[in-house]
Structure 1
Amino acid sequence: MKLIIGLGNPGKQYAQTRHNVGFITIDELAHRHHIELDKEKFKGLYGTGMINGEKVILLKPLTYMNLSGEAVRPLMDYYNIETEDIIVVYDDLDLPAGKIRLRTKGSAGGQNGMKSVIQHLGTQEFKRIRIGIDRPNNGMKISDYVLGRFSPDEVQDVVHAIKQAADACEEWTKTTFIDVMNKFNG
């Protein structure tokens, strides 16, 4: 069983913000594979289903970004999921809007949701897909920027990146993550 986690903030006011590209990726996967996110437990909203014959859980932590690990660890423990069977999808200020980058490990890079996941898992060695949201270039505070919506000229690139992230998650259900990285990091 694989666990695919998308980081974001719950609530309509955050639905289409830069910080919620992880949630949007989970919604894309749920839509593609007819997986209902119908269970609310362990401080998260999740659903189970099949992708390419592999049983998966799609999870959106409901803790708000900075406490995301509080939803991830209990669900992993309940379903007996090892860290090698999880992937976390989240926004990254250090990548251009619309670019994705896959890694098998690494620091949180200043992303507070990832800091929480790393803290609760006790390791930095787990798969992740970073979706670029770029940095503000007009002196805007980071918190205002990540909680803001994409500009019209960013939308097409970001939608493409979200679809690529979903494609990469699907690919991971049928091949090694190294192969997925080689395909999507190129």
Structure 2
Amino acid sequence: MGLGNPGAMYAATRHNVGWLVVDELARQENAVWRKDGDAEVAEVRLGREKALLVKPQTFMNASGRAVAPFARFYKLEPSTDLLVAQDDLDSPFGLLRLRKGGRSGGQNGVKDIIAKLATEDFARLKIGISRPPSGWDPAGWVLSKWRPEEEATLRDLVAIGVKAVRTWGEKGLLDAQKDFNGTDLRPREAQAPSPMPATPDA
């Protein structure tokens, strides 16, 4: 599952980096997105396994409403069958890591998935977007657009994120962690953007 908000106005925002990963994987596999319940889905193969890519259309705070029906219908075991690609405020931009379990860390999409599945025991692909600079509200920061100077690093992060998803699907979480938890593409010099007002859609 890739987390994000639907609509063109959110497409290039930090909160939608999870969508970028599943979109790129679908593109590489020539998969076609279709509407299914409260999500868009696409079928791909990860090694010998069939996998379903899911993009909730519920807005971030209700992401669990999209994933829970798939978990029930396909009788998924969250601890082994579910990987959530998400943005992570507590990791610097350029840092990528995989982990399993734990609380939401304030990520509202993950929080809702935990609530709807009644478990924290699922894997997460956490892509750092950094804490907001001074003068920024977190809600405004996650819904801000990527700066032009960040785009090359973002493309590399998404590409590595796709490789991490493939490894998770083919070999499991431990191999994915071993291969990708050292990923660090942090820009050496980042300029702080100007503040923007908070928005209620985070």
TM-score normalised over the length of structure 1: 0.94
Q: Name 2:60's counterpart in structure 1.
A: 65
Please name the residue that 2:140 is paired with: 144
2: CA distance between counterparts of 1:34 and 1:76?
A: 24
Q: Is the 8 Å Cα contact of residues 33 and 51 (structure 1) preserved in structure 2? A: no
- Measured against aligned partners, the alpha-carbon deviations of 1:79-107 in whole angstroms (never above 9, x if no partner) come to 22221211000001111112111001111
For the 8 Å contact 1:42–1:75, the answer to whether it is kept is no
> Which residue, out of 156, 170, 183, partners 1:160?
156
Which consecutive residues of structure 1, in runs of 5 or more, have no partner in the other structure?
none
Contact 1:95 1:133 in 2 (8 A): yes
Deviations 1:155-174 (A, max 9, x none): 22222111111110011122
Identity %: 40
Aligned residue for 1:129, secondary structure, equals strand
RMSD: 1.1
- 3-state SS in 2 of match to 1:143: helix
Query: Match for residue 23 of structure 1?
Result: 19
Is 53-62 or 137-146 further displaced after alignment?
137-146
Structure 2: gaps (5+ residues): 183-202
Cα deviations by residue, 1:91-135 (Å, 9 ceiling, x for unpaired): 011111121110011110011111001101111110010000112
Larger gyration radius, structure 1 or structure 2: 2
Shift of 1:26: 0.8
Residue 112 of structure 2: which of 96, 100, 116 is its match?
116
1-side partners of 2:170 and 2:110: how far apart?
A: 26
Quote the residue 2:186 is aligned against.
none
Residue type matched to 1:146 in 2? V
**Offset of 1:43 from its aligned partner?**
0.6
How far has the Cα of 1:76 moved from its partner? 1.3
Q: In the alignment, is residue 54 of structure 1 matched against residue 49 of structure 2? A: yes
* Greater shift in the superposed pair: 94-103 or 149-158: 149-158
Aligned partners of 2:150, 2:91: CA distance in 1, in Å? Answer: 13
Cα distance, 1:49 vs. partner? 2.4
Following the alignment from structure 2 to structure 1, what is the Cα–Cα distance between the partners of residues 132 and 173? 32
Superposition misfits of 4+ residues, deviation over 6 angstroms = none
The question of whether the paired residues in 2 share the 8 Å contact of 1:98 and 1:154 is answered with: no
Rounded Cα–Cα distance in structure 2 between residues aligned with 1:177 and 1:89: 13
Report how far residue 16 of structure 1 moved.
0.9
Residue type at the aligned position of 1:121:
L
Distance of 1:176 and 1:76 partners within structure 2: 18
Q: CA–CA distance in 2 between the matches of 1:135 and 1:18?
A: 11
Displacement, 1:53? 2.3
Q: Which has the higher strand share?
A: 1
In structure 1, what residue type is equivalent to 2:174?
A: I
**What does residue 80 of structure 1 align with?**
75
Q: Which amino acid aligns with 2:136?
A: M
Match among 28, 32, 35 for residue 31 of structure 2: 35
